[in-house]
Structure 1
Amino acid sequence: MNSLGERIKQLRKQKKMTLAELAGDRLTKGMLSLIENGKAQPSMESLRYIAERVGVEVSTLLDDGNIEELRELLMEIETEYKSIFYPFDVKEKEKFIKLYDKISVVNGQLQGKKYEEIRLLDYYIRITTILNYEQEEKTMFDVMAYYEKVHAYSRIIDCYSFLAAYAFYRNDYKIALQFILDAERRIKPYRHLIDHIALLDIHYLLTVLYAAIDNTAKTQENLNLALEIAHKNKIYYRLDDFYRFTLIQSIGQGDEEKSKYYLKKLKQHADFTEDKVSISALAFANAHYTNLIEKDYKKVPVYREFLILDSYDSDELNDVPLLYEMEEAYAYWMLGRYKKSIELSESFSIPVYAHHPLDLSIMYRSFAVRALCYHELGEKEAAKSEILYAYHGVAEFSSSIYKNFIQDAYEKIQYGKRVK
């Protein structure tokens, strides 16, 4: 089928309708004949009428024949793209090259007129960005304009989220934040049309990004807004993320009452959902609370029982077991079991996907703990090597209990300052 008229003619014949029957009382036989022969273009009103008469959607009439091909390709690309745990990991490059090659075949057809075209163009631009290929003429902002035309407002948020993620990966925290603020402004006229899950995503991103630049007031404001949306609409999506984030914030501020409350909420959420990852995350949550609030270090190894290691795909990095073991190593250091702490922490490394200053500070603290263990065992060079790694890792971050811990350890190892 090469023309609209030919598609209308084929559908009419499939329905065994004459020109007069299809024309009905809204069109003349002569006009319909001109349309079928490509000598006249129907109005949108006439198209709706014709589509209704032959029992199809208007989009079917407008389809130039490649929509099914694009739809199948889109489903394939979506499935493969979503299977990649962390897009900016260099180990995923070959997968993205294959995806790029698949979309390149139809790239010339992606004019942003149909939803499938827009989605494929969206993926194409993401992939060229990830691969650091030369940017095409169309950008993510063109894609957002296309989404706006087809009223896919939640997709606009998703586009801005990708741009923010890319900036975040480059440690450009303020630029990442600005992208999400731009998203919030852009979708404001359509807020009543956007699902609550997409709105929760915006407030979650604003929460973590404001925390990344140490804006405590705005962090708390967006956290409260998110929890209000979740509770009001009985949505459990991201609830454990918000509870966990608030718990860590409260522990960092030394707020025992608030820390205890959100640890309880995390436990209740894990019990209710029976989600294996949420249950496993309780290992770190309990250990972190115990180490920094209760200071009952002997309890920490018991929390390992929360870890359900089959929750994680073998090819997927996940920081839940790592964060717990970092807390366990801290507890053994506090108990004076230096060799045990070192043995446990020998395989520690910073995951490629960790970029938030708070996450990084917690992780770098474990290298300071290892440095202190080496120091106590008289292995001075090993201690200096470890502490320098931790010290330089957090040098650009705002002050926190984790950065202060690393600073104290640095001064003790490098200059003999008497600190615990």
Structure 2
Amino acid sequence: MSLGARIRQLRKERKMTLVDLAGEQITKGMLSLIENDKSKPSMETLNHIAKKLDVSIGYLTQEGDEAWTRWVLDSEDFNSSYSFPFEHVEQEVLPNLDKVSQNVKGMELYHVIRIYYRYKGEHSQADSYSEKISSFYRTMGMEHLVVRDKLNDAISLMYSQDYAEAFNRLVESEEEIVSFKEYDSRIELDYYYVKGIFALSVDMETFEDILNQSIELSYEHENFKYFFSENVILGYYYALIGEQGKYEMCCENIKRYLKFNRQEKYEIEIIDEDNPVPKFYVLVEDREKQAELYEEYINRIQKVYEKDQGKMVGMPFYGPIFALEHAYFEGNYEKVVQMYHDDMYIRTTAQHPIDRILMAIRSCVYPLSLYYMNEKEKARKAFNTIEATIEDIKDSIFTTEFYMIRDIIFER
């Protein structure tokens, strides 16, 4: 959108006439020429117009195509939590970078491009977009968004699974990020949650303290952001290290939380409402009972999915996984082998370390089914294939069940 077109659009949005906007500073005729891009305004004139329209000069003179930028961001491909729009970025965005509007929406699109280059392992390109974003916000006087983007930059490294680099960048920026909490009350909470997630694979000695600090901030701000996932992660951790009391405390926290904050997104997270944090995902003590829980669970979320006309966006991804695991717990190993494919547990969107480990554990219903069908060599080969997907985090405490499954398959 040209400068003149943007001025005209803003004037009409504010229901102002040419005379209203021109005021005493410029003539109606001059303003008409400016709106039709037949005359370029001086800085003094621009300043007058910006003040009358209650926007910044930077907003008026921004480059790019705002309508196109919004169209790209509103695309269905850009709003999936389970896949990344590689094709859309490569075909629609990268060839049209000159159309990216130089405003907040444009910076959102730059963030997507940054993630794209993280996926590709082209970190210098990704970092150049971090610079573009920071430079824009700094120029516009939005220093709090410069700081906020340091968090987004670290999160973008999750897509390339560079957890250590993300953690280090956060630590380096901690003082600056936390110092902005008086301007952005949520930034401190966001910081400690994200830092805790990355500490899982980098600094386990501090992981528990960081997440507990994040929970305290959830109470302090009274919005309980991340409260559900923090208690799930900590509860699972306490179960694995044998801290039964703390494990039960996390389970009770989740139960109480869901009583007053029952959202659809949590329906897909909990199979057994009496035990919202499983100690084991595959090696359960009672498979028959687990099969019954899965059947009830699948029916429950299917009703929610149908009621909300398919708005539970995770169902297309998780539906086949639920069915596969249900078949395993029923002992229908042939069905598991027929239904399974190597990428069904893998998301192209960012997964933090525990997500990846849990998906690897749950996908082990396939090699275990092969093993119970006496296809032992195939089972071991399948297990090795899955193990390769978590090679960088295989020494985590959270892989405990994974290697218990290995010992069964390899008969150790």
1:147 aligns with one of 126, 137, 142: 137
Aligned residues of 1:122 and 1:140 also touching (Cα < 8 A):
no
- Pick closer, same or farther for the CA change 1:355–1:189 going to 2, 3 Å: closer
2:227 aligns with one of 223, 239, 254: 239
Structure-1 residue corresponding to 2:116? 130
Deviation at 1:230, TM superposition (A): 1.2
Aligned residues of 1:180 and 1:206 also touching (Cα < 8 A):
yes
Aligned residues of 1:207 and 1:219 also touching (Cα < 8 A):
yes
- Pick closer, same or farther for the CA change 1:331–1:268 going to 2, 3 Å: farther
- 2:101 corresponds to 1:104: no
Deviation at 1:147, TM superposition (A): 1.9
Aligned residues of 2:114 and 2:130 also touching (Cα < 8 A):
no
Deviation at 1:302, TM superposition (A): 3.8
Structure-2 residue corresponding to 1:218? 206
1:8-87 to structure 2, matched below 5 A, reads: 13-14=19-20, 56-57=53-54, 59=56, 62=57, 71-80=66-75, 83-86=78-81
1:349-360 to structure 2, matched below 5 A, reads: 349-352=344-347, 353=349, 355-360=351-356
Aligned residues of 1:361 and 1:403 also touching (Cα < 8 A):
yes
Aligned residues of 1:212 and 1:357 also touching (Cα < 8 A):
yes
- Give the TM-score normalised by structure 2: 0.70
1:289 aligns with one of 278, 292, 303: 278
1:185 aligns with one of 168, 175, 198: 175
Residue type at the aligned position of 2:254: L
Query: Match of 1:127, SS?
Result: helix
- Pick closer, same or farther for the CA change 1:68–1:2 going to 2, 3 Å: closer
- Measure the CA separation in 2 of the matches of 1:11 and 1:94: 40
Structure-1 residue corresponding to 2:243? 255
1:93 aligns with one of 73, 79, 87: 87
Structure-1 residue corresponding to 2:301? 308
Aligned residues of 1:338 and 1:376 also touching (Cα < 8 A):
no
Structure-1 residue corresponding to 2:33? none
Structure-2 residue corresponding to 1:33? none
- Pick closer, same or farther for the CA change 1:362–1:41 going to 2, 3 Å: closer
Q: Alpha-carbon deviations, 1:218-270, whole Å to 9, x = none?
A: 21222122111211121133222222222222222232222222222222322
Cα RMSD for the two superposed structures: 4.6
Q: Alpha-carbon deviations, 1:388-413, whole Å to 9, x = none?
A: 22344444425356534444544554
2:194 aligns with one of 205, 212, 217: 205
1:363-378 to structure 2, matched below 5 A, reads: 363-378=359-374
- Pick closer, same or farther for the CA change 1:373–1:143 going to 2, 3 Å: closer
Residue type at the aligned position of 1:365: I
Q: Size of the alignment, in residue pairs? A: 374
Residue type at the aligned position of 1:218: T
Bigger shift: residues 282-291 or 323-332: 323-332
Residue type at the aligned position of 1:14: D
Q: Report % sequence identity.
A: 13
Aligned residues of 1:368 and 1:387 also touching (Cα < 8 A):
yes
- Pick closer, same or farther for the CA change 1:375–1:69 going to 2, 3 Å: closer
Query: Match of 2:225, SS?
Result: coil
- Give the TM-score normalised by structure 1: 0.69
| Structure with greater Cα Rg | 1
- Pick closer, same or farther for the CA change 1:43–1:385 going to 2, 3 Å: same
Structure 1 unaligned blocks of 5 or more: 20-36, 111-115
Deviation at 1:211, TM superposition (A): 0.8
Deviation at 1:104, TM superposition (A): 1.8
Residue type at the aligned position of 2:54: E
Structure 2 unaligned blocks of 5 or more: 9-15, 26-38
Bigger shift: residues 384-393 or 267-276: 384-393
Aligned residues of 2:288 and 2:329 also touching (Cα < 8 A):
yes
Structure-1 residue corresponding to 2:378? 382
- Measure the CA separation in 2 of the matches of 1:130 and 1:174: 19
Deviation at 1:140, TM superposition (A): 1.4
